[in-house]
Chains A and B, each alone.
Chain A
Amino acid sequence: MGLVAKMDVARIVRTHITTAELEPPTELITSVNDGSTPLLEVVKGLGEYLTSTEDDVRLKGLTFLSNVVKVIAPGRYNRQATQTLTRYFLSKLDDFDSLPSALQALTVLSKLPTFDDEAAVDVYKAVVEEVNLKSYVQATRHMVYVLFDSLLATHRSALKAMGSDFINSYTKMVDGEKDPRNLLLLFSMEKVILLEFDVKDHIEDMFDITFCYFPITFKPPPNDPYGITADDLKLALRQCMSASPYFAKMAIPLFLEKFSTATGHSMRDLMLSMAACFPIYGVEAVGERGGELWEGIRTEIMYSSDTTIEAAALSALESLMRTLYPTEAEVPTGLAQDIIKEALTVLEEPEKSQGIASTKILAALVRASPSAGKYALSQALPQLFRQFNSPSLPSHRSPILSAISSLLISAQSVYSAPESGRHQYTEKSLEPFREPLLDVLREGLRTESLRGPAIRGSVALVEIPGFWGRDEVEDVVRGMNDILINDGDVEIRSAVINGLTTISRSYSSTIETVTLPLLFHHLPDTAPSLSDIDARSKYRSILDSLSRLCIQPSLFETLVIRINSKLDLLAPTPISDVETDEQECNVAYCWDLLNTLLTVIERKLVAKHLDIVKYFDAIVPRLYGLCVEAALPRAGGGKTLFGDRRLLSLVGRIGETMTWELNTERQAKQIDVVYKAFEKGEIAAMIHETTQIRTAGSPLRNGASSSEQDLIAVYSSTLQGLKAETPLPFSDAADYLSGKIHWTIHVATSPFQLRFALDAITALVNKRATELQSSLAEILEMVWVKEVIDTSNEFEVRRRGLLVYLHIVKALALIRHQLAYDAVLRVIECLSLASFDPVFVNEAARGFSVLAEGKGKGRERGSHLTAKLLCAQKLWNVVLPKLIEADRDATGKTRLVYLVAFSSLLPLVPSSLCLSDLPTILPLILRSLTLPDPVQRTNAITTLTSILETQNMSADVDKIIHQNAVTMVEGLAKSVLPDPSGDLETSGKVRSAALRCLAFFPDVVRHETLHTVKSDVLRDLGKALDDPLRIVRREAVECRAKWYRYGAAV
């Protein structure tokens, strides 16, 4: 074996070296890894090449060996092999061309268990002695650092034991490195060295190689392939700067010096770096120059015109104070006292910009330190109370109260955060001001111009654990309730609701007994008239408040009871087929009540509340009862309120959502009663017992009135809310499905009924595909042959047949059922008949939008269809090639239908999929931008936007985007214009979408690619500014501002 192997090795090596194929073959690697060929055999086999006098041959030998070392299993190296190889590669360090391969091999070797401390030191020394880093390119320098990094990770103590030798040579070696990729690695190593090595005596050298980079001014090019941001570098450097307290002596003077030169981003960096460094540098070093540091920080807080710098300066201040006064034991003398005194003097003019800045300074002190914070509050609050109670100008009270609230919020932010370790009940900083605080806040809640700050301050105090008692909370809740009822300002009301919601988390009974009764009391029993806009916006605002407050289980029950009783009152209102204003008002009020209920249910679901099921009987049968009662024939003729389709839709949605939450057993019971009601006419069981009904038979029977047929909304919603495993009350699912299909195509009398019937069919097929298995193909065939393609049918029958067909395909595609992919081909085939059957073919092409609806059908939540992983991808991969092929084969006008089908299908695909298919689909998307129908153009534009939105796009995508950028921009520009141009119809939607998409280009595409079209785009956008719709103009303004800045150096 050994002999054979040896011969093999020699031969393999020879072939590879002579053909310059330097990657080792798999057989060789396998053979080394399984032990049949010893590693040293390979070295021997390479012998003549490794020692060749020809540079070229020697390099090939070395590279081959290095490549072998990189891939074989670590267990194959024994100590001897490791040593030999290490020695060999070390001897190559002085050879310019061999260095990269040698370094890579050494990095691999350095990670082996057989590589010892001694070897680590040898390798490190050899590298610093032999390699003159400055003469190598970035990639090679990077390899050196990677090797160091590996040594530092695995043999840290050996390097540490080198003492001064190590740090001296290291600092020389890395001096002058400029490449961001290398620096990122160096910074991470230096942090380790600073933290773990004895750097005290070499701190100047370490300081030089660290602080020479500060502040970092690096700015990556757009779409930088390496993805290193300025912030990455800043953070890494900051961690080094703050790694050693010995830096303090040199760093603090440097910081002080930078105050006068740094601006913009560097100033922000300076502030944040100081914030990170102060606690490490320690009270002694920082305290020495505290006054000067504060001067610099103060300037940025008081005068900076950039809020991010101001925020950074405030965190520097916070850090400074925390360093100087870390615990409650430190007496806040000296700097803190001066700062507070000055801030309070400035606050004598609270309405000025420096007054606001001073408040921020005091708030930072409160957050920073228990001692300085407490002292700040004790000085500031009495002065602010005095100013509030006798202001020099009445208008000053608002900024004064704002200042008080800001201090309370900062107090709350530390006292309610467990990680701060600070508590109001130990510090008692607010205790002396209990009374006056309540007084000013109460006053603030009562006064119109003071409400905003008063709400903020009140909520902050409620949230400080253990500060206020129940009575005080009730007191401010009452004040806030008054605002809720009487203040028309949306902002203020929304602030109150947020506040009350927060309060209700700790004091729910207060909200239940004080707030809710008041709100319900102000809800009217009948709808306000059309002209009474105020009353309507008032009930709307109350309902909005309720929908946000009543999410909590303890408050939800009250909501259900109260809304039910309002609906009971409204339900008997008669309506006629002729819409009157009064009738619309009633419907709208009812709709708002129901929508409040639905909104709360959905919010509870998001919050994962379990109490919803408990309310099923209190909600669903009642609402169904109201609908049934309205639909059944009445003695005097005419309808009542719940016959309105908009209300029916909403009741359906509530029914579906609640049904879905039931367990299968309860679901089986529910579908059983609903089934009996609709198929057998036994309606009584489905509805709440209090409802009085006169049975008229199944609402789906022949001869039922249109309002009875509308109850399909209730039936369909129940079916949609069922889980796949819930037992059904009928035995033959196929029979049942055929019945529903027949009803949909031939019986339903309105688009409303059609929609619910199609949704029911979709849900049924989607969840019962296994039970329907054998009959599905047959059913699809029947629909296609008898209803869809038979041109002797009425057009409406064919259209409905097609919709049924497509909905079944969609239901099957969601579960990746093979039948879906066979069935959809028929639809694609029929597109080729464009010239014979144009109207129908166009309908079919647009019908692909049914497939594009996917699971959600436009709603983000609340769809209960089953969708398997990658179902959209699968369907897309089946349909796309067929469409592309057919499009290629078609000519002239007949091509258009494929484009229509393509763009109708587009919303189906997630942007990740678009990215991988980009080369194939981009031409189609670009052509779709010329389609006459704005809906299809919107699809194409939305897809384009999602492609452009992609973060970190690959180099390939980036290239395609840049190649096509001009065409894309020109295509989009056609859709932004308010006047239809050429054959292009337009809509507000398509114009908004196009503008939003265009606005992405300046961020994604490099300026040189598009600078030629910039002036045209700006001109077209100038026309878009005159759009008739305000909301579109807004997008146009935004987009145009971006294009103006595009390419301008800012």
Chain B
Amino acid sequence: MSRALDNENPTIFAPTHATSSRRQPKSARALLWDSEADMFQESDMEDGSESEEEREEIDSEEVFDLLRSITDPEHPVSLEQLRVVNPDDIRVAGNRVLVYLTPTIPHCSMSTLIGLSLRVRLLRALPPRFRVDIRIKPGTHQSEHAVNKQLNDKERVQAALENKHLLQVVEGCLATAGQRGVGDGNVGAAPITA
């Protein structure tokens, strides 16, 4: 650990919901039956043509789900546990997504890097029709404006990603993104011994 950390002792919060969001069901009828009940329904001798697909729109919870388990560049904890991303700070309207991120301290030099990780994740995980804005939550960072500019300028983002070292750090942060809030060990359990 050669470099001094920006925030060497941030506050850790318990994740709000460890698994993906619970959503409003499509209809009350759909909720009536246990998921296992499907195999007891009558249709199985008939050709099992899929019931027509009702579109489930991408909403802010889904976007949060994509971001929550990204690892902080300084600590082995998720952005959700540091409350850097919050479900309430994500807006989805039509083809636009707006994400506010909250740095753990106002002088955090990692904010740009975190923002870049969010951007790369959404670039890869959201359909191209979306236009994504990533902003620092107003009043939480000294150089809010500069960071916002950096994060939402296509060419600057592109240039940053051409830096091999930077990209590697971003990939490192994104390696855990697929967990989507599941996982995260217990403090007291014995560590693995190989």
Contacts and interface: CB of A to CB of B under 8 A. Distances in A.
A275 interface: yes
Contacts of B175: 1050
Interface residues of B, number: 69
Interface string A395-430: 000110011011111100100000000000000000
Contact of A1040 (B43, B124, B191): B124
B76 to A, nearest CB: 5
Contact of B34 (A299, A591, A988): A591
Given A305-B76, A1026-B127, A1045-B171, A399 B28 contact: no
B94 interface: no
Given A584-B32, A1028-B55, A1033-B58, A409 B188 contact: yes
A650 B168 CA distance: 54
Contact of B37 (A300, A403, A646): A646
Interface stretch (A114-122, A348-356, A503-511): A348-356
Interface string B30-51: 0111101101111111101010
Nearest to A311: B191
A231 B194 contact: yes
Given A491-B18, A754-B45, A755-B45, A533 B9 contact: no
Nearest to A987: B50
A751 B42 contact: yes
Given A646-B37, A1041-B124, A413 B188 contact: yes
B45 A307 contact: no
Contact of B190 (A410, A533, A645): A410
A21 interface: no
A978 to B, nearest CB: 9
B71 A363 contact: no
Interface residues of A, number: 93
Which of A234, A410, A1022 counts the most chain B CB atoms within 10 A? A1022
A310 interface: yes
A351 B188 contact: no
Contacts of A234: 194
A406 B5 CA distance: 27
A592 B34 contact: yes
Interface in B16-72: 17-19, 28-29, 31-34, 36-37, 39-46, 48, 50, 53-56, 58, 62, 66, 71-72
Nearest to A269: B194
Contact of B53 (A303, A363, A645, A988): A988
Nearest to A296: B1
B19 to A, nearest CB: 7
A1041 B127 contact: no
B138 interface: no
Contacts of A318: 191
Given A311-B191, A755-B45, A988-B50, A352 B75 contact: no
B185 interface: yes
B129 interface: yes
A367 B187 CA distance: 13
A466 B32 CA distance: 46
Interface in B151-193: 167-168, 171-172, 174-175, 177-178, 185-193
A1029 B53 contact: yes
Contacts of A409: 186-189
A1044 B50 contact: no
Given A311-B191, A591-B37, A595-B34, A1041 B9 contact: no
A112 to B, nearest CB: 39
Nearest to A413: B190
B106 interface: no
A1028 B53 contact: yes
Contacts of B44: 751, 755
Contacts of B62: 1030, 1033
A359 B187 contact: yes
A320 B66 CA distance: 40
A450 to B, nearest CB: 10
B108 to A, nearest CB: 14
A399 to B, nearest CB: 7
Contacts of A536: 31-32
A728 B76 CA distance: 66
Contacts of B126: 1025
Contacts of B48: 935
Given A413-B190, A581-B29, A755-B44, 8 more contacts: A231-B194, A303-B5, A305-B71, A530-B29, A533-B31, A752-B45, A755-B45, A1033-B62
9 contacts: A306-B76, A353-B9, A531-B28, A581-B29, A752-B42, A1028-B54, A1030-B62, A1037-B178, A1040-B124
A-B pairs, top 5 by smallest CB distance, nearest first, are A409-B188, A406-B188, A1026-B127, A311-B191, A751-B45
